Structure 1
């Protein structure tokens, strides 16, 4: 059935990829990557346009996937996807939601897992959109650029593109998170130290000096 759906979407070219990418962020279990590669093999010179259609479709579908998670909860994921994908994504989210979305954009785990989980776990929608835009743009355009530059020869290159992107991106993400947490801890420490320092109070004169000051001068 899914193969028939893919063939149907392929017949629409870039529009089919747009629809597939939109559905990929919402509920469709097959990643849009497969249709992007299939269309790019046939039209390598249009690979960048295909990447753009896929990227925009994914971004427009992201809020809908988020709303599904918000309204229906995680149970909907177990009905349409493998439990191991959901458990892996949940584990990433519990450690760091931001890293989960970025890393999830590069992995073979369907992206809808992260959009729906974001809604389930009340992750801010604007952050989801920002990190989804960064991560998905990277994957769509890396595939598009390879086909545009190398034509059909890129078919062998993109088989492990998720792995290659992850090998480069994940260390950068982890380094960024390290410095972000370090800056946050430093800021909290400075705030705690500022709160611990008592506010300066005016020094009161001894009672004898106060009386002396109030007495009339000779």
Structure 2
């Protein structure tokens, strides 16, 4: 099943709709969806390394746009949708502490948490809830999300076909390692948030 999913994403990278699918996942992940865009970004960069920079750009723009939706949820709909989403990810009791931390460390929170596997939607929703400066939210989101996606794309571009060989020969191991990083991000967010 894992190999079929991987092959589906590789095949998807050949279609004209590939960029749209990547943008959709990146947008949704920044505001409400639990699956990170790396699950599509990595195989797409492996399949077409010459388009890795374009894919990173798409992820960055769509992620920041999705972050604006998350920000709006936090600023305008926190009592309904925001509370539900934050509670769904297990951070409901930590929002007040996060809000207080924004007063002193808002820039650093966005920059650091945007690079990590900690769910970015938690940052976007609580940024809106904390009424953090929208201008700085966008600027810092572009920096941190761009760094994350361009780093992944750059590594895959630089390593090239060797990355594809490594991933395809050890797909189970790579997937398990990725799952550990994502779950670790959720756990870290629960204790470091």
Q: TM-score range by the shorter chain?
A: 0.5 to 0.7
Which of the pair has more CA radius of gyration? 1
**Contact between 2:102 and 2:132, CA under 8 Å: does it hold in 1?**
no
Superposition pairs for residues 17-166 of structure 1, below 5 Å? Answer: 17-73=22-78, 74-83=82-91, 90=98, 93=102, 96-154=105-163
Q: 1:83 offset after TM fit, Å?
A: 3.2
Q: Residues 151 and 68 from structure 1, CA distance in 2 versus in 1: closer, same or farther, beyond 3 angstroms?
A: same
Is the CA contact (8 Å cut-off) linking 1:29 and 1:80 kept in structure 2? no
Once the two structures are TM-superposed, the CA of residue 94 in structure 1 deviates from its matched residue by 6.0
Contact 1:70 1:120 in 2 (8 A): yes
Alignment: residue pair count: 154
Runs of 4+ displaced beyond 2 Å: 76-80, 89-95, 152-160
Q: How many Å apart are 1:152 and its aligned residue?
A: 4.2
43-52 or 113-122: bigger deviation: 43-52
The correspondence of residues 165-180 of structure 1 with structure 2, limited to 5 A, is none
SS of alignment partner, residue 105 of structure 1: helix
Q: Return the offset for 1:79.
A: 4.2
Contact 2:31 2:70 in 1 (8 A): yes
Decide which structure has greater helix share. 2
Higher relative contact order (CA 8 A, sep 6+): 2
Query: Mind listing any 5+ residue stretches in structure 1 that lack a counterpart?
Result: 164-218
SS of the residue 2:46 aligns to? helix
In structure 2, the gaps of 5 or more residues are 168-173, 182-193
* Structure 2 length-normalised TM: 0.68
The two structures, once aligned, show a CA RMSD in angstroms of 3.2
